Structure 1
Amino acid sequence: MKKLAAIFDMDGTLIDNNAYHFLAYQQLFKTHRLPELSQQTFNEQLSGVPGLTGLHHLLDGRFKEDEVKAMFEEKNENYKKVYAPYIKPINGLERFLAELKDAGVKMAVATSASHGNVDFVFGHLNIRQYFDAIVDNTGLTHGKPDPEIFLKAAAQLNMEPANCVVFEDSISGVKAANSAGMKVVAITTTHKAGELKPVNLLINDYADIDINKLTALFDDKDE
């Protein structure tokens, strides 16, 4: 088997947590007497992008920069409190990660989340050992849908983009993976299948995929 790499988004991809982010943002907006946040606005403007950047755009200059940063930290604390009792990996994830590791597939996490939120997730799940690299939003110049984060992850794995497959749940993440020239497996935790395109494979959870289905995505590249 040729050398491959699998790059995983985190929120909505390793864990099904976007509903809890949404609840935390709703609480934030209520506390600060902002207009009610709709599910559509959350999905389109906050899901899959760096949270602080998304919040800045959504608030559109109504608060000073330091106020927005403080509000974002408040939102993160809300999120951790509501999600901590329920955090678990998406069905089939641990089995799939172990299978990839046994097959020699390099793996990375590439997430728009903060370093603190990454530590929160990996502090509750026993899966950190599967990943050769973890890239969060620290030091990123451009967030998704720009491909920067996935190209950075591929570089840390010492892999060519064409030999990488990205696992994503968000529209912006799918766009970023395509722009990076990588294969894309989309998981339907956050969006309906028809909203996630173009992709190479759609899954409901990791029970829908194994190493054979993964390597089949690269058959047209075999030498």
Structure 2
Amino acid sequence: MKNFAAIFDMDGTLIDNNVYHFKAYQQLFASHGLPQLSQQTFNEYLSGVPGLMGLHKILDGQFNDDELKAMFEEKNENYKTVYAPYVKPITGLERFLASLKQAGVSMAVATSASHGNVDFVFGHLNIRQYFDAIVDNTGLTRGKPDPEIFLKAAKALNMQPADCVVFEDSISGVKAANSAGMKVVAITTTHKGGELKPVNILIDDYTNIDLNKLAALFD
């Protein structure tokens, strides 16, 4: 088996949590007297990208930088409150990660989420030990669909991009992985399969994939 690495997005990929992010943003907009946030706007500007960057694009000119930062922190607290009772891994994830670890596959998390949100999720799941690197939005200058975060993850694993496969749920994430020159496994937690392209493998959860299917991408 050729040596390769697996890079996982977090939100919508390790956990099925985007509906809770959406609810948290809706609460934020309501509390500040803003028009109701639509699913379309959320998907376009806030799903799969650093949230503060998304808020700047949506609310630019209405609030200054400090106000937007405070609003983003407020949203994160909303999210943790509404999601905490429901945090669980996507079906089959733990078994799949264990099989990759046993086979010696290097693994990283590459997420647009903040360091605090990463700690929140991993504090509820017993999976941190499977990952050799965790890259969050700290120091990120360009959000997805720019490939910066995936290239940083590959570098952290000491792997070439062509020897990496990315697991993603978002359109922007799939675009970023393709731009990085990596293989792509898309999971249909957030979007329908037809919206996520081009990809090498499409799954509903981690019962649909195993080590052999993944390794075959690099034959």
TM-score (norm 1): 0.97
Q: How does 1:85-164 map to 2 (within 5 A)?
A: 85-164=85-164
The residue that corresponds to 2:60 in the other structure is 60
Cα deviation, 1:29-84, whole Å, max 9, x if unaligned, reads 00001011011111111000000000111112110110000000000000000000
Question: Does the residue aligned with 1:159 lie in a helix, a strand or coil?
Answer: coil
SS of 1:85's partner is helix
2:102 maps to amino acid: D
Aligned mates of 1:88, 1:46 — CA distance in 2? 22
- 3-state SS, counterpart of residue 116 of structure 1: helix
3-state secondary structure, aligned to 1:189: coil
Counterpart amino acid of residue 212 in structure 1: N
Work out the CA distance in 1 between the residues paired with 2:174 and 2:6.
14
Q: CA RMSD in A?
A: 0.5
What is the aligned partner in structure 1 of residue 171 from structure 2? 171
**Residue segments in structure 1 that go unaligned for 5+ positions in a row:** none
Q: Whole-Å Cα distance in 1 between the matches of residues 190 and 43 of structure 2? A: 8
Aligned twin of 2:218: 218
Contact 2:2–2:218 (8 Å) recurs in 1: no
1:163-200 Cα offsets, whole Å, 9 max, x none, are 10000000000000000000000000001111100000
CA distance in 1, matches of 2:117, 2:61: 25
Q: Does 2:186 match 1:193?
A: no
Structure 2 alignment gaps of length 5 or more: none
Q: List 4+ stretches of structure 1 deviating above 2 A.
A: none
State percent identity of aligned pairs: 84
The one-letter code of the counterpart of 1:34 is L
Q: Secondary structure at the match of 1:33?
A: coil
**Number of residues of Structure 1 aligned to a counterpart in Structure 2:** 219
Contact 2:48 2:172 in 1 (8 A): yes
What SS class does the counterpart of residue 88 from structure 1 fall into?
coil
Q: Distance in 1 between matches of 2:140 and 2:214?
A: 28
Equivalent pair of 2:111/2:136 in contact (CA under 8 Å): yes
